[in-house]
Amino acid sequence: MMKVTVWGSRGSVASAGPDTIRYGGNTVCVQIDGPDGSVLILDAGTGIRRAGLALPGDGRPVHVLLTHLHMDHIQGLGFFPPLFEPGREVHVWGPPSNTQDLRARLTRYLSPPLFPVRIRDLTSHVELHDVPNEPWAVGGFTITAAGIVHPGPTVGYRIETSGARIAYMPDHEPILGGPIATGEWLSGYVLARDVDVLIHDGQYTDEEYRHRVGWGHSSIAHAVQLADVARARELVLIHHDPNHADGLIADLVAAARASRREGTVRGASEGMVLKA
C-alpha cells in the first residue's frame, strides 16, 4: 500500500488566482508514503514548501527525486524546510548529464544571484545523487528511473512496494518516440506497465498540442493512449497548463475518463490524497 499526496499539480509556472483554486496553482510536487513510514518527494516545484511543513519532524532521511531540472520542478527546493534543519539528511536524486554533475547544475539556481544561500552553507546534510541505471532501494521502496522524451536530461520514475506500483512522468511527450500503440518500444512504457497509478503529463488539449509539437508535453489524448497501452489502472493527469482554468480542466478530465478503454482518470489537484 502506498499513499500519494499531491502538493503541486501545475506545469510550467506557478499560477495562483481565482481560476486555479480547485486544481491548485503550485508547480509539481508529489509525496509518496510507503507502508513502513518511508517517504519520497517527487519533484521540487513550489508545492514542496507545504510538503516539507507537513513532514513529521522525526529526523528520518528525506529523499527528493527530481525528474529534471526545469525551473517548475526545482523552484521550491530553496523553501523546503528540512534543508534548514541542522543535521537532517536530505538526499536529492536527479538525471545524469554528460556535461555537468547534479550539484553543479542545481547550484546554478541555489546560489547568488538567483538564491541567497549556497548548498554548501546549509546546516542540513545534503547528498546529491545521479539516478542509477538499475532499480535501487530507498526505505521500503524499489525505484526504477528511465530516460523519457522531454528537452534535456529527463527521467520518469516507477516506484514499487510489495503489492503496489506507481509511475510518475509529469513532463513527457511520448508521441515523438513513435506511435503509442507500439507498446514496449515506447518512451515511458517500461515505467508505466501494469501500474496501479500512472501520474502523467496532461498539459494540452489536442488543439493546443498541434501548435506545441516538440515542447516536451503530452496532449491529454496521448496520456490516455499510453495509460491504455501500458494497462495502467488509474491515470492521474498532472502538469496542468497554467492557462487552464478549473472548469476547463474538469471538462477535459471527464472527457478523458470517458475515452479510456479500461481504467479511470483523475485530475491531480492540490491536497488530493489517493491510495495505491
**What contacts 182, CB < 8 A, 6 or more positions away?**
none
72 lines the binding site for Zn ion (CB under 5 A) = yes
70 lines the binding site for Zn ion (CB under 5 A) = yes
- Confirm if 177 and 190 have CB atoms less than 8 A apart: no
Phi, psi of 251 (to 5 degrees): -65, -40
Applying CB under 5 A, the site for Zn ion has a residue count of 4
Stretch that binds Zn ion, among 50-58, 116-124, 168-176, 263-271 (CB under 5 A): 168-176
| CB closer to Zn ion, 43 vs 85 | 43
**85, 171, 196, 241: which one binds Zn ion (CB under 5 A):** 171
| CB closer to Zn ion, 171 vs 270 | 171
Q: Is 139 exposed, middle or buried (0-12, 13-18, 19+ CB in 10 A)?
A: middle
| CB closer to Zn ion, 109 vs 136 | 109
Stretch that binds Zn ion, among 68-76, 133-141, 182-190, 245-253 (CB under 5 A): 68-76
Interface pattern 24-63 for Zn ion (x via CB under 5 A): ----------------------------------------
* Three-class DSSP category at 234: strand
- Minimum Å distance from CB 195 to Zn ion? 20
- Confirm if 124 and 92 have CB atoms less than 8 A apart: no
- Minimum Å distance from CB 194 to Zn ion? 26
Q: What's the sign of the alpha-carbon dihedral 218, 180, 142, 196?
A: positive
- Minimum Å distance from CB 45 to Zn ion? 8
- Confirm if 5 and 272 have CB atoms less than 8 A apart: yes
- Minimum Å distance from CB 73 to Zn ion? 6
Q: How many CB atoms lie within 10 A of CB 114?
A: 11
- Minimum Å distance from CB 85 to Zn ion? 27
End-to-end Cα spacing for the chain:
6
Site residues for Zn ion per CB under 5 A: 11, 70, 72, 171
